[in-house]
Amino acid sequence: MPFSPFVARAVSKTLGGQVVRNRASRLHFPDAGHGYDAFGLSPDYVALGDALAGVVYDKYFRVQSHGHEHIPKVGPAILAGNHSGTLPFDAAMMWVDVLRHTEPPRVARAVADYFVPSLPFVSTLFARCGVVGGSRGNARALMEAGELLIIFPEGTPGISKPFSKRYQLQDWRQGHCEMAIRYRAPVVPFAVIGAEEQMPQLATLPGFGPIPLIPIPATLLPMPVRYHICYGEPIPLDKEFTPEDADDPTIVKEAALRVKAAVQELLAYGLKQRKGIFK
C-alpha cells in the first residue's frame, strides 16, 4: 500500500472519528495472524475505506437505505442486485451501507470482475477493504467461511450499460444462485437507485489486456444524484434446496430468474418512491 496501517489508522480517525474506529474494532474477521485475512482484508483499511467512502455516502450521494433489516447478521449470505454507473460507486456505497447497518458490523465481500486484481493500487486498496477477484474458488472459500458476499450478476455489461438502458437489467448470470444453493446461503436482493444516472455513458471503446472495455462518460465525475438502496426479503434458497440441487441447471436458472425478478421489482418500487434524481 502507498501508506502504512499506521497512516490508515490516523487518516480514518481524523476523517471518520472514533465512530469509524470503533466500528472497525468490532469487525469479526478470520485473522490469519498479522491483522489480515487470507485475501488481504485489514480492519485498519476497512476503517479508512469507511471514513473516505463515508464522506461520499453522507455528503455527495446522500444515501437513503431501506430494508437493511433483511441483511443476515451471521452466516453465509449473498447480496445480489443491479450494477451501473460507469465507475463502481454503487458497490462502494453498498459496502458502506452494509457496514453501517449491521451489528456487529459485517464487511460485504464484493466479488469483482477478474481484471480488477490487475489494476495497480486499486487492487490493493480493494483487497484491504474485502474485495476479492471473481473466481469460483475465492467465492467458495468465503462462503465456507460464512461471509457475506455482494455480487452484481450483470457484471461488466451492467456497469457499462448506456444511459438509454438505465434500470433495465442486462444479461443476468446464474453463478450466485448456484453458490447460494451449494453453500446453503440465502440471497438478499437489492436495488440501487440513482447510480444508473450518475455518469451517463456516451460510448465504449474496446479494452486492452485484461480490461474488457473503456467507457466514455458524458461527465468527468459522477453527478451528485441521490442514492436509494432498497433491500428485499431474503430468498431462502438455502432452505428450499439441497446442496446437490446446485448441479441441476434448471433449478439454478429458475432461482436466478426469481432473484432477477425480485431486483426488478425493487427497482420499480424505488423509482416510484423517489421524488427526483437529485432528491
- The amino acid at residue 226 is R
What's the closest the beta carbon of residue 218 comes to other proteins, in angstroms?
29
Nearer to other proteins (CB atom), residue 85 or residue 134: 134
Nearer to other proteins (CB atom), residue 37 or residue 97: 37
Nearer to other proteins (CB atom), residue 121 or residue 272: 121
CB within 8 Å of 278: residues ≥ 6 apart: 223, 224, 225, 226
Nearer to other proteins (CB atom), residue 114 or residue 163: 114
Q: Do residues 197 and 166 make contact, with C-beta atoms less than 8 angstroms apart?
A: yes
What's the closest the beta carbon of residue 14 comes to other proteins, in angstroms?
23
Q: Do residues 154 and 169 make contact, with C-beta atoms less than 8 angstroms apart?
A: yes
Q: Do residues 265 and 231 make contact, with C-beta atoms less than 8 angstroms apart?
A: no
Q: Which residues bind other proteins (CB under 8 A)?
A: 1, 32-34, 36, 38-40, 114-115, 117-124, 127, 132-138, 140-141, 210
What is d(CA 142, CA 164) in angstroms, rounded to the nearest whole number?
36
What's the closest the beta carbon of residue 75 comes to other proteins, in angstroms?
19
Q: What is the DSSP string of 213-258?
A: EEEEESSSS---PPPEEEE---B-HHHHS-GGGGG-HHHHHHHHHH
What's the closest the beta carbon of residue 45 comes to other proteins, in angstroms?
10
What's the closest the beta carbon of residue 118 comes to other proteins, in angstroms?
6
CB within 8 Å of 269: residues ≥ 6 apart: 191, 230
Nearer to other proteins (CB atom), residue 81 or residue 134: 134
